[in-house]
Homo-oligomer: A and B are copies of this chain.
Amino acid sequence: MAALSLFLDVPLTRGADRLLDAYRQDPSPDKVYLDHWGCQTDSGEAWVCPAVRQTLRQIADDPTLDHEYLPVLGFPRFTQAATELALGRASCAVTENRAGGVHTVGGRGAVRIGAEFLRRWYDRNSPSPVVVYIAFPQWDSLQCVFQDAGFTEIRPYHCWDPVKLAVATEGFLAVLESAPDRSIVVLHAPEETGLSPTQWEEVARTMRRKRLFPFFDVPAQGLASGDLDRDAWALRHFVTHGFELFCAQSFSKTFGLHDERVGNLIVVARDNETLARIRSQLQKQVMATWATPANVGARVVATVLSNRALWGKWKQSLRMLVEKIMLIREKLKEKLRILGTPGSWEHLTAQAGTRSFMGLFPSQVAFLAKHKHIYLHQSGQFSVCSLNSHNLDYVAQSVSEAVSAAAGGAPGLSQEEME
């Protein structure tokens, strides 16, 4: 046997969780992590929708359930209910039977399966590679998905203007205008971007003219406005206007059920026959990736969505979460104002949803990590639910110092530290 490994040239690669790693390794008792993906309770624990616990117990107690494999495309009752939740039961695509779901391993699995399909079948006769556009900061997690699916031209775009502290509508439209015809545009968390219906209409018009393909990615329908239909406005607008599209849908955040990986890839096609052909190819891909998805999470979601009492409970949970999120935003803004922090902090309450831009430059974010043990994404995006009554004062005080330091130029970071 050769003494050397067959894998001598495999390089060590660092995980995507560098921020979490840095937080974990920080020995400071003051440390705060502001980049959770899910919602947190006031004591800093992961929030779980009460209807989820109840339904999980019902499922575990049901002796009639066997544990047979699900079909390759997943639990049919789940994909149907999930697709109707996103598109609306009265959607033309639903009534015309040309929208369908593929039950996937989380939202990430939906993006992956969708990306692989598009790489194989979308715009195949184009002489140049299809370009994919992904917004910052989702670029960090989704770029590798399209890359591994085989796309070679992936470009980032901005939906947030860090100077104007507002949604970057003009910049976004300019990107769409300059994109090669038939590019794929990933529209992440449309309900949280802050684009108004009128602005979405303009986006749709531009995308139609340029024949751009919309790949929606909806991680938390209902957690922006508290209203499931309102949060789905942009997606439904595109469907109503005749687009063929994909939509990756996740139930991790809205059910607090992150660990069971409940996702759905919604396909809206021109007609039922096209949908059947697309789904047959997706089925083939799934067979070669994970064969069939896991069951219990989708069973919980399907049960809640189809049971009037549980559905009411769940919707109430969403509204309560959204109210809590808005209250945290208000409190943070107010505290920053009282502390005399330079600048306007209106953008904190103008944004919606679980993740928002704090309105900090990378140097200020670095200052917070280095001097205050507060960890958030370098774009300044943070999870609003990571703030609670125990850490809000400290975070506000620290943000105020970071901004004042940068404004005064005094104890800020050197150029070297900022990198």
Tell yes or no: A162 within 8 A of B by CB. no
Given contact pairs A258-B67, A260-B67, A16 touches B287 in the complex (Cβ within 8 A): yes
Task: Report B-chain residues with C-beta under 8 Å of the C-beta of A1.
Answer: 208, 241-243
Contact A290 B106 (CB under 8 A): yes
Q: Which of B257, B269, B293 contacts A5 (CB 8 A)?
A: B269
Docked Cα-Cα span, A293 to B263, in Å, equals 12
Tell yes or no: A12 within 8 A of B by CB. yes
Contact A9 B288 (CB under 8 A): no
Tell yes or no: A66 within 8 A of B by CB. yes
Tell yes or no: A92 within 8 A of B by CB. no
Contact B288 A37 (CB under 8 A): no
Q: Which of B10, B67, B296 contacts A281 (CB 8 A)?
A: B10
Which of A144-152, A329-337, A364-372, A397-405 is near enough to bind chain B?
A144-152
Docked Cα-Cα span, A285 to B144, in Å, equals 9
User: Which of A6, A53, A59, A106 has the most chain B CB atoms inside 10 A of its CB?
Assistant: A6
What number of copies of this chain does the assembly contain?
2
Which of A120-128, A304-312, A407-415 is near enough to bind chain B?
A120-128
Task: Report B-chain residues with C-beta under 8 Å of the C-beta of A63.
Answer: 53
Task: Report B-chain residues with C-beta under 8 Å of the C-beta of A280.
Answer: 12-15
Contact A10 B277 (CB under 8 A): yes
Which of A68-76, A82-90, A195-203, A223-231 is near enough to bind chain B?
A68-76
Task: Report B-chain residues with C-beta under 8 Å of the C-beta of A106.
Answer: 290-292
Task: Report B-chain residues with C-beta under 8 Å of the C-beta of A14.
Answer: 280
Tell yes or no: A294 within 8 A of B by CB. yes
Task: Report B-chain residues with C-beta under 8 Å of the C-beta of A56.
Answer: 60
Task: Report B-chain residues with C-beta under 8 Å of the C-beta of A109.
Answer: 289-291
| Contact bitstring A162-202, B, C-beta under 8 A = 1, else 0 | 00000000000000000000000000000000000000000
Tell yes or no: A297 within 8 A of B by CB. yes
Docked Cα-Cα span, A321 to B17, in Å, equals 43
Docked Cα-Cα span, A39 to B281, in Å, equals 29
Contact A283 B10 (CB under 8 A): no
Tell yes or no: A213 within 8 A of B by CB. yes
Docked Cα-Cα span, A229 to B294, in Å, equals 29
Contact B12 A276 (CB under 8 A): yes
Task: Report B-chain residues with C-beta under 8 Å of the C-beta of A247.
Answer: none
- Name which residue of chain B comes closest to A123, CB basis: B6
Tell yes or no: A38 within 8 A of B by CB. yes
Task: Report B-chain residues with C-beta under 8 Å of the C-beta of A261.
Answer: 290-294
Contact B289 A4 (CB under 8 A): no
Contact A6 B122 (CB under 8 A): yes
Tell yes or no: A61 within 8 A of B by CB. yes
Task: Report B-chain residues with C-beta under 8 Å of the C-beta of A5.
Answer: 244, 269-271, 274
Tell yes or no: A52 within 8 A of B by CB. yes
Tell yes or no: A419 within 8 A of B by CB. no
Contact B260 A295 (CB under 8 A): yes
Given contact pairs A4-B270, A288-B148, A290-B290, A37 touches B69 in the complex (Cβ within 8 A): yes
Among A1-50, those with CB < 8 Å from B are 1-2, 4-17, 37-38, 45-46, 48
Docked Cα-Cα span, A346 to B105, in Å, equals 44
Tell yes or no: A390 within 8 A of B by CB. no
Tell yes or no: A278 within 8 A of B by CB. yes
Task: Report B-chain residues with C-beta under 8 Å of the C-beta of A287.
Answer: 15-16, 108, 141, 144
Shortest distance between the CB of A52 and any CB in chain B (Å): 7
Contact A7 B278 (CB under 8 A): yes
Docked Cα-Cα span, A418 to B326, in Å, equals 69
Given contact pairs A5-B269, A12-B280, A46-B67, A290 touches B259 in the complex (Cβ within 8 A): no
Task: Provide a sorted-by-A list of 10 A–B residue pairs whose CB atoms are within 8 angstroms.
Answer: A7-B270, A13-B280, A53-B63, A57-B57, A67-B257, A105-B290, A105-B291, A260-B294, A260-B296, A294-B296
7 nearest A-B pairs in the assembled complex, by CB-CB distance: A5-B270, A108-B291, A259-B295, A60-B60, A105-B290, A294-B294, A148-B288
